[in-house]
Structure 1
Amino acid sequence: MTVARSWSRIVDWLAANHPTTAALVNPPATAVDIRYLQAAINRPLPADLVELLELANGTEHRAVRGSLIPTLYNLVPVMDMLSIRQMLQEIERRIVGSGPRRGDSEPAGSPTTDWLDTFLPIADAADAGLLYVDLRDGDQFGCVWEWYAEGGGASAPWWASVGEMIDDVASALTEGRPALQAYANGAVWPAQRHSPQLAEVDEGYLRWSAT
């Protein structure tokens, strides 16, 4: 399923079931925004990420309760992608210095505890967690990981692509089934992150809870 179709399912579900969240989806990123992002990271962008940005430039509800993407995440606009990435690059260089990192030469989808220049944040959480796209070369180029500064990346990518992530969320919302089932079934979760996630509206906020 295309990103456009999956995103339409999400937006339609939000409009019918949670209009407060629907109103917080940003307008599409401009062509200038996307070209600037491409130039700033100096890496190819996955086509499905570009397609998503052409539909919505993140959301505006990251400072309030609730989340659109499991487990705790909301999509960030282009300029926030770059500012978060720059902040993490600076932190990494202060800690370990400049130069190659462990993982730089590994293919996309390889675990690493370092923040690499080939990682691009696409969503954040109130507890400082991130979702990022892995832009290293390889068969898993464009896969989506979770990141926490305390422990680095998750043990495996959560989704194989942005398109898969959006389709998973769309199906979870519209079909009432848990998201992240493939990851829960196929990889070792960190402690207390071991279950698929079911969407619910709790006290007026969209959130995800373990099944």
Structure 2
Amino acid sequence: MGTWDVGPFDNDTAADFCAFLDEAAEADRPGLIRDALARVLDADDPLDQHLAVEAVAAAALVTAQCPGGQPVTSVYGPDLPIPVLPDDLRDIAVFALERVVAEPSELRELWAETDKYLYWLRTLQLLRRVLTFPAPQPVSRSWARIDTWMRQHAPASYALLAPPADPAEVEAAQHAMGMRFPTDLLESLACHNGLTHWANLLPDQPPMSVTGILDHWQMCVEIAGDDTDLTESSEPGEEPWWHPLWIPWAQSDGDSHIIDMREGPKQGRLGNAAHDDSGHFNDGWPCLATYLTAVADALDHGGEVDGDVPYLTAQGELWWTFANETGLNGEPLTPAPTTAAHSTRPRP
């Protein structure tokens, strides 16, 4: 099998599979994608590398139709359109990707012998991440769930959540920044105007007040100025250090969780802007509502968000960090209790 990169379509077998899809009737293509995923799940050990490659390509086609998914731009992908795929293929694609990276898998073994193994794993992890995004709930509903959890299990943390923002202050900030805030950010600010003190209450940076959002945005815009090295991408597909149509809704130590308000189908997505690096959205979220839904799900049912899981500190405060951590500053961390039995989340 000729392979030239880690992408889902960067090999001869995947290119042949996509050509096979192009030759099939449009109505038959969803069934062929389902078959490619199912063959991996039904295969004997060790998993054949060609079956695995076709399953990865099929999973990438499913991912491309999910919120937050990347469109297929590879010249080796299908030339003809893929019809709207059934929602149940998302779960099947997740199981297929898990089978591809599990032992015994010929494809995994082949990549493990190369210096691009971790990059290949990362590519599959990003596909899986998009496939498992929860169906977004209204932001007010997610905050209500988060509030309920904290009142019950971490009241000291709940006390740090600020009351709703003043609508007049929100309007003034939008005017000063020259853009309208997305609906989910407005809804979030109507629940909590950030925190009264710094706290590790979310898996990424803590949410800011309206004043904090405006101040951080103005600081970044002033630093970037007219310097094209900071405001323009150096390579196609890369992001600048800062763009004036990014809204920093959360921030810590100069690194911000940003909402992209540039025009286009990806408007409203979440990404990150580090104080000493360029912005990036590759491992972000399709919108703030999806992110907060995932946070509420992790508290209610268990699980991770952006690689972090919730704990309680010795003082009974909510703390997010890597899985399997046992302590913080010499004191024990306790896995956060859940408030509901695990249930299957609805798909969009």
- Tell me, yes or no, whether TM beats 0.5: yes
C-alpha separation between the residues in 1 aligned to 2:274 and 2:303? Answer: 27
| Counterpart contact for 2:224–2:231, Cα < 8 Å | no
| Counterpart contact for 1:61–1:74, Cα < 8 Å | no
C-alpha separation between the residues in 2 aligned to 1:34 and 1:124? Answer: 18
C-alpha separation between the residues in 2 aligned to 1:97 and 1:178? Answer: 37
Q: Work out which of the residue numbers 26, 30, 39 in structure 1 matches 2:162.
A: 26
Of 110-119 and 82-91, deviating more is: 110-119
Matched, 1:203 2:314: yes
C-alpha separation between the residues in 2 aligned to 1:128 and 1:134? Answer: 17
Instruction: Give the partner amino acid of 1:206.
Output: L
How much does 1:122 deviate?
A: 0.8
Matched, 1:68 2:201: yes
- In terms of Rg, which structure is larger? 2
Q: 1:20 to 1:144 in 2, by over 3 A?
A: same
C-alpha separation between the residues in 1 aligned to 2:314 and 2:287? Answer: 31
Matched, 1:48 2:180: no
TM-score by length of 2: 0.50
Q: 1:27 to 1:141 in 2, by over 3 A?
A: same
Instruction: Give the partner amino acid of 1:143.
Output: R
TM-score by length of 1: 0.80
> Structure 1, unaligned stretches of length 5 or more?
181-195
Percentage of matched positions with identical amino acids: 26
C-alpha separation between the residues in 2 aligned to 1:4 and 1:129? Answer: 26
> Structure 2, unaligned stretches of length 5 or more?
1-136, 324-348
Give 1 or 2: higher helix fraction: 2
Partner of 1:193: none
Structure 1 vs Structure 2 CA RMSD:
2.1
Which deviations, in whole Å up to 9, do the C-alpha atoms of 1:139-189 show, x marking residues without a partner? Answer: 111111122111122352521111111111111111111113xxxxxxxxx
| Counterpart contact for 2:200–2:319, Cα < 8 Å | yes
Instruction: Give the partner amino acid of 2:301.
Output: E
C-alpha separation between the residues in 1 aligned to 2:163 and 2:312? Answer: 24
C-alpha separation between the residues in 2 aligned to 1:111 and 1:27? Answer: 37
C-alpha separation between the residues in 2 aligned to 1:47 and 1:152? Answer: 26
C-alpha separation between the residues in 2 aligned to 1:155 and 1:163? Answer: 16
Q: Work out which of the residue numbers 147, 154, 158 in structure 2 matches 1:11.
A: 147
Partner of 2:216: 84
C-alpha separation between the residues in 1 aligned to 2:170 and 2:292? Answer: 19
- Alignment length (residue pairs): 184
Partner of 2:255: 129
Partner of 1:154: 280
Q: 1:2 to 1:18 in 2, by over 3 A?
A: same
